[in-house]
Amino acid sequence: MKQRAEPEGGVLYLVGTPIGHLGDLSPRARALLIAVDTIACEDTRHSGQLLSALGSTARRCSFHQHNTHGRIPQLLEELSNGHSVAVISDAGLPGISDPGEDLVAAARNAGHAVICIPGPCAATTALVSSGLPSGRFCFEGFLPAKGRERRDRLAAVVTEQRTTVLYEAPHRLMKLLDELHELCGGERALQVTRELTKRHEQQVGPTVTAALEHFQKHPPQGEFTLVLGGAPEQEQISLNDEQCRQQLAMRIEQGMKPADAAKDLARSAGRSRRELYALLHEQQNQAD
């Protein structure tokens, strides 16, 4: 089949780049990065190595979470002037936990064509190699770092019946594994993938306990994507009493009043506020 000539003026190209192995850059991505007018890079120094190795002399500009709003109008203007623009991230598919999403929305709103040149993505690479069900899955990316937002998101993740894919930074991995252990127990299926497509690629599982024990012995280093098995149907119903007590204690330690802690947890734990309040009273009476 005859392909259309690329790049075309006025088109925004989202270009997938390797997540480790440089051989994963597609011939189409390579040709486009050489011929396009402008490349918006998450980090110009990081991507500079790849682009120089390709012999790309396209104009490069930085495009990251701290300059998104200023940069989008400039890139839209380039598109309006008939230039072709590519956006790439440090690794993988731009727009997946990476800058790109807002630019695509703005380009579409302004009536510009957007074409994705697909490439590696850590989430799908981890999912398909995990051995966990992939027919239906959800992607959570990075969880919020702390506070109520994190608790609510974790509560949703551990009660989700579909396989869930998460990104995590190495210095936070143990905290996440501890939380998963506390909330869904040690036997829940989990594959922690490390350094996908790189020389030291590794899969650690098959359960939360196995992963926790492994990384207690081998402190986490490198890049991680987690694939968590879905909750069995009965776990969907609610957290048990002990898990609720722990969750309530955590909220009270963080400064919530007991009534607010019960109200807050009721929202995500599938338990009524009255039941949770009774648990708190029980605990209080035992302590007196």
**Which residue's Cβ lies closest to ligand SAM?**
92
Told to check if 168 binds ligand SAM by CB under 6 A, we report: yes
Told to check if 122 binds ligand SAM by CB under 6 A, we report: yes
Which residue's CB is nearer to ligand SAM, number 119 or number 230?
119
Which residues 232-271 are close enough to bind ligand SAM by CB under 6 A?
Answer: none
Q: Can you tell me which of 14, 29, 85, 121 binds ligand SAM, judged by CB under 6 A? A: 121
CA distance 122 to 154: 21
| Cβ-proximal residues to 8 (8 Å cutoff; 6+ apart), any chain | 84, 113
Name the burial class of residue 116, with classes exposed (0-12), middle (13-18) and buried (19+) by CB atoms within 10 angstroms of its CB: middle
Residue type, 272: S
Told to check if 123 binds ligand SAM by CB under 6 A, we report: yes
**Are 223 and 122 within 8 A, CB to CB?**
yes
Q: Can you tell me which of 79, 196, 227, 279 binds ligand SAM, judged by CB under 6 A? A: 196
The 3-class secondary structure across 61-108, one letter per residue, is EECCCCCHHHHHHHHHHHHHCCCCEEEECCCECCCCCCCCHHHHHHHH
To the nearest whole angstrom, how small is the minimum distance from the Cβ of residue 44 to ligand SAM? 16
To the nearest whole angstrom, how small is the minimum distance from the Cβ of residue 28 to ligand SAM? 17
To the nearest whole angstrom, how small is the minimum distance from the Cβ of residue 171 to ligand SAM? 11
Told to check if 132 binds ligand SAM by CB under 6 A, we report: no
Told to check if 140 binds ligand SAM by CB under 6 A, we report: no
Told to check if 197 binds ligand SAM by CB under 6 A, we report: yes
Told to check if 160 binds ligand SAM by CB under 6 A, we report: no
C-alpha radius of gyration, the chain, whole number: 23
To the nearest whole angstrom, how small is the minimum distance from the Cβ of residue 170 to ligand SAM? 8
> Would you give the binding string for ligand SAM spanning residues 17-46, x where CB under 6 A is met?
--xx--------------------------
Which residues 84-103 are close enough to bind ligand SAM by CB under 6 A?
Answer: 89, 91-93, 96-98
Which long-range contacts link 51-59 to residues 24+ away (Cβ below 8 Å)? Answer: 53/22, 54/30, 58/33, 58/34, 58/86
Provide DSSP, 212-259: HHHHHHS---S-EEEEEPPPPGGGGT---HHHHHHHHHHHHHTT--HH
Which residue's CB is nearer to ligand SAM, number 222 or number 258?
222
CA distance 260 to 198: 47
Which residue's CB is nearer to ligand SAM, number 137 or number 276?
137
Residues forming contacts to ligand SAM in the complex (CB under 6 A) are: 19-20, 89, 91-93, 96-98, 121-123, 167-169, 193, 195-198, 223-225
